[in-house]
Amino acid sequence: MDKKTIKIVCFAGLQKYFGAETSVAVEPEATYSDVVTELVTANPEAEEVLNSCRIAVKEEFVSLSDKLESVDTLFLIPPSSGG
């Protein structure tokens, strides 16, 4: 089956590597972890920060091991630094 394109919204320090939005193409059965792997491939310099990020979908955190299924947009959340 054809790969599907996932839109990724980036925040804070991540924008230095990917801008405010980017996208990757993944297999239909891909997990969130596969998305991160694609991003590391696209920009190896971002590996450290990518490995410290959480992923949110519809304003809830998801597990890296979950499959994307019908999700087409995700939010990449670097470590919080409010306060």
Which residues make up the interface to other proteins (CB under 8 A)? 9, 11-13, 32-33, 51-56, 59, 61-64, 75, 77-83
Instruction: Give least dist CB 28 to other proteins, A.
Output: 22
Distances (CA, A) of 56 to 1, 25, 45, 48, 49: 26, 18, 22, 19, 16
What minimum distance in Å lies between the beta carbon of 1 and other proteins? 26
Minimal distance, residue 69 CB to other proteins, in Å: 17
Residues ≥6 apart with Cβ < 8 Å to 12: 78, 81
